[in-house]
Amino acid sequence: MNTIRISVNLEAFKYPDGTVALADIRLDVQKGEFTGILGSNGSGKTTLLKIMDGLIKDYTGQVLLDGQDVRRLHPRDIYRKVGLVFQNPDDQLFAHNVFEDVAFGPRNMGFEESEVKRRVEEALAGVEMAEYGGKNIHAMSYGQKKRVCIAGLLAMGHEILLLDEPTAGLDPMGEYRMMELLTRLNRENGVTIVMATHSVDLVPIFLHRLHILSKGRVVRGGAPEEVFTAPEEMANVKLRLPHIAELIYRLKHEDRLPFGRVPLTIGEA
C-alpha cells in the first residue's frame, strides 16, 4: 500500500521583494520512493525543498508531513523525520572535524555519548566514509563534504532526505557514485528521497518519479517513461530529453541515425 509522507498543496509563495517563486504546486511524496524535482535554474526547486522542510512558512496553501500541517509542527518534530541537504556543503558544515560535525545532530537530540558514537560510525559507514571520522573537514573534497552532510542527517535517523542538487560540482565519476549511494540508501535503508536537480540524464536511470518545475509551476509529473516523450516538450521548459530517451525517440521516429538504421524488432530488415 502506498503511504504519502509529504503532501504539497501550495497555492502560491512569493519572496518579500514580490518574486512569485511558486504557484499551484500539487504533488505527493510516497514513502520509500526516490523522487526528482527537475527544472532549470530559477525554476523554484530550492524554494520548494525549503517549504517541504518547514523553513519557509509564509505561503498560501498547505503542506502535510505524515498528515500534519508542517507549519503547526514544532521544528523538532520536523527534524526528527526530514532533513535537507543544501546545495553547497560549506553552508551546512561547521565543525572542524568530520566526526564532530556528524555528531552535532544526535548530540543535540540528547542521546548518550555511546549512542552518539554508534550513530556517527554507522552514518559515516553508510556514506562510505568510515575511515574519515578523525579528519579535518577542510581537507575533504567537495564530494566528500557532500557525503558528510548526508551522514549528519542519517545520524539523526531521518527517514526522508531532501537533497538540493546533490551532484552539482562533482565530476562524472563523483556524480555516478553519489547517485549509487543515494540509490542504496533508498533501496536498502528505506530512506525516502526527494532530489532537486537539473541533470536530466540522471533521472531515467535512478528515479522512480519526477515532477518538472518551470517558472514556479509543475508542468509535468509521473514516472520517467511517462514524462520524457518528445524533445520539443522539453525545450518548452528549458530542458532537453535525457540522452537515453532521445536515442529511443530517434529510433522510433527517424530513419537516419549516426550509426545507421537499427532494426526495431527481430527479423525487421
Write out the E strands in 145-202. Answer: 160-164, 192-197
Range in contact with ligand ADP (rule: CB under 6 A) among 40-48, 150-158, 227-235, 240-248: 40-48
Cα–Cα distance between 132 and 151 in angstroms, integer? Answer: 12
| Cα radius of gyration (the chain) | 20
Q: Which of 35, 46, 92, 214 binds ligand ADP (CB under 6 A)?
A: 46
If the CB atoms of residues 49 and 160 are measured against ligand ADP, the closer one turns out to be 49
φ/ψ of residue 59, rounded to 5: -115, 165
Cα–Cα distance between 162 and 182 in angstroms, integer? Answer: 11
Q: What residue has cell string 561547521?
A: 94
For residues 11 to 30, the per-residue mask of contacts with ligand ADP, x marking binding by CB under 6 A and - elsewhere, is ----x-x-x-x---------
- Quick one: cell of 145? 563534504
- Cα atoms in the Cβ-side hemisphere of radius 13 Å centred on 233: 14
47 contacts ligand ADP (rule: CB under 6 A): yes
Q: Which of 10, 27, 44, 119 binds ligand ADP (CB under 6 A)?
A: 44
169 contacts ligand ADP (rule: CB under 6 A): no
If the CB atoms of residues 38 and 103 are measured against ligand ADP, the closer one turns out to be 38
91 contacts ligand ADP (rule: CB under 6 A): no
- Secondary structure tally for the chain: helices H, strands E: 10, 10
Q: How far is the CB of 46 from ligand ADP (least distance, A)?
A: 3
The dihedral through the CA atoms of 17, 23, 28, 29 has a sign that is negative
Q: How far is the CB of 17 from ligand ADP (least distance, A)?
A: 5
* Binders of ligand ADP in range 179-208 (CB under 6 A): none
What residue ranges bind ligand ADP (CB under 6 A)? Answer: 15, 17, 19, 21, 39, 41-47
